[in-house]
Amino acid sequence: AQSVTQLGSHVSVSEGALVLLRCNYSSSVPPYLFWYVQYPNQGLQLLLKYTTGATLVKGINGFEAEFKKSETSFHLTKPSAHMSDAAEYFCAVSWGSGGLTFGKGTHLIIQP
């Protein structure tokens, strides 16, 4: 079964610093990977998705993710954190019947 592992349930960075949220996937076939963001008391919003092709994927709000097959990783980055980036971030992998399997989430804290 396909799965994703997010390293670090909580990540704290200073405003203006680099954001790095880690995601590793387990898949026997080329995966379809997604990053979602959940702001407090809201649903999940798609940040970006990887299909086959370009390894660097750009998303909304200045986020991007790099697909590295050799490391089975799909880490999410943002060059400069903003206070409004504080939220829960989920990595997810697509599977057969069209559903998504989510990682356990990473809570991003932005220090002023």
Partner 1 sequence: DTAVSQTPKYLVTQMGNDKSIKCEQNLGHDTMYWYKQDSKKFLKIMFSYNNKELIINETVPNRFSPKSPDKAHLNLHINSLELGDSAVYFCASSPRPPGSYNSPLHFGNGTRLTVT
Let me know: does 81 contact 17? Beta carbons within 8 Å.
Answer: yes
Of 89, 82, 96, 83, give the one whose Cα is nearest residue 23.
89
Which of 8, 16, 79, 99 touches partner 1 by CB under 8 A? 99
CB of 28 or CB of 112, closer to partner 1 = 28
Rule CB under 8 A: is residue 64 a binding residue for partner 1?
no
CB of 77 or CB of 101, closer to partner 1 = 101
Residue matched to tokens 């750009």 = 58
Let me know: does 101 contact 3? Beta carbons within 8 Å.
Answer: yes
Q: Which residues bind partner 1 (CB under 8 A)?
A: 32, 34, 36, 38, 41-46, 49, 51, 88, 90, 94-102, 104-105, 107
